[in-house]
Structure 1
Amino acid sequence: MTTRERLLDVADDLLADKGIRATTMSTVAERAEVSRAWLYRLFPDKNALVGAALMRLVETTWERNHAELEAIDGFEDRLVAGVAIGRRAYDDPGATLMRLRTVEPEEFAAAIGVGVAGLVPDLAGFWHRYLGEAVRDGDIHPETDLDEAAEWVARVMISLGSVAGRHVDADDPQSVRRHFRRYVLPALRCAPAH
């Protein structure tokens, strides 16, 4: 294990246990058994260290979510599963990323660089591949603008994953599936308006 990985492991533990504000460069260096000078050589400030730790968590989360969706056949089923994945992330109090994003939004935004505003582009990038496969498989219109559609799907997923509604029960896969079948999938199957 490299010194950088050891520092990020310690930062991960402290972030999960204490949050961003209470995680200090001194504590990270001490627990990793590295001099502060060495820590500052690798990470010039706290935001750089916390940002690197958060990005590593993001990448791990995306990889785990991709693995889950890759095991599912069909775009519709992946969409429904995607809502469940999003709901788990928001509902799990141990989910470090979501907790930090919610509890310490300013610190989170400063450390991760893109903050909450980066969620839509990140999630759009996540869904882009599945939209491409849906075009290939004939599940959505072949002229679909994948970048634009991926952003729309990301916004739908964020909404269903985080905001309660009156007509769609995001915790009920059948309710989610009915919503996708009535609105999202028909829109993606139509030729895009110009």
Structure 2
Amino acid sequence: MEPTVEDLILDAATEELRDYGLRRTNVDNVARRAGLSRATVYRRFESKNALVQAALVRESYRFFSGIVAEIGPLPTARERLVEGFVVGLRYVRTDALLTRLLVSDPEELLPYMTLRAGGVIAAASEFLVAQYREAGGPELSGGRDPRVLAELLVRLAISFTLNPTSVLGLEDDESVRAFATVYLAPLMA
């Protein structure tokens, strides 16, 4: 299956972001890398901001797909939550694009992870809810909504991404697993 024009643009945008960071990425270079005209890019994405948002949302889907590949065989929603948090933090710490943007353009990345993060938060939350339901997650007590739990987990992950320094001591998989078991898994009760 041939990539769509949108795929070509988003692939090029992701490569530009990985190579040059947020500040130095521009629509002209994305268009050139995609082998398309600038006008074609602007027909699909009204601004650089919209293009970056779309690229980050797509990367978040890839990110979560990678997590699912590792935790999919786990039988319970609780196990998936704990191991998903472990794998997710590990991926965040090693992802080439995110690492590049955190090092080179933290002040440029911050709005995309906070004020402009609506699309990423929504996509990630929907993904987590789907995983919860697929794993046969139990009804949450008190009529709590799994979408709220998912959003809470996404926002927590963003916080750890933006500022990994913590008294929690989440330096390795075992410490992350212990944290998730004690503090996050009970949220599903």
TM over 0.5: yes
Displacement of 1:179 after TM fit?
3.9
Shift in CA distance, 98/119, structure 1 to aligned 2, threshold 3 Å:
farther
Other-structure match for 1:125: 126
Structure ID, larger Rg: 1
Aligned CA distance change for structure 1 residues 111 and 38 (closer, same or farther; 3 Å): farther
Measure, in 2, the Cα distance between the counterparts of 1:99 and 1:23: 13
Instruction: Identify the residue that residue 101 of structure 2 maps to in structure 1.
Output: 100
Question: Aligned pair in 2 of structure 1 residues 156, 22: CA closer, same or farther (>3 Å)?
Answer: closer
145-154 vs 57-66, greater mean Cα deviation: 145-154
Alignment of 1:53-92 (within 5 A): 53-92=55-94
Structure 1 residue matching 2:137: 3-state secondary structure:
helix
* In 2: Cα distance, 1:108 partner to 1:155 partner: 15
CA 1:31–1:73: 2 relative to 1, 3 Å: same
Higher relative contact order (CA 8 A, sep 6+): 2
Q: Is residue 14 from structure 1 mapped to residue 16 from structure 2 by the alignment?
A: yes
Checking the alignment, whether the CA contact within 8 Å between 1:7 and 1:28 is kept in structure 2 is: yes
**Structure 1 residue 83, shift from structure 2 partner:** 2.4
Change (3 A) 1:93 1:187: closer
| Number of residue pairs matched by the alignment | 184
TM-score computed with the length of structure 1 as normaliser: 0.69
| Residue 151 (structure 2) pairs with residue 148 (structure 1) | no
CA RMSD of aligned residues (A): 3.5
Contact kept in structure 2, 1:108 and 1:115, CA below 8 Å: no
* TM-score (norm: length of structure 2): 0.71
Alpha carbons of 1:108 and 1:158: their partners in 2 closer, same or farther (altered >3 Å)?
A: closer
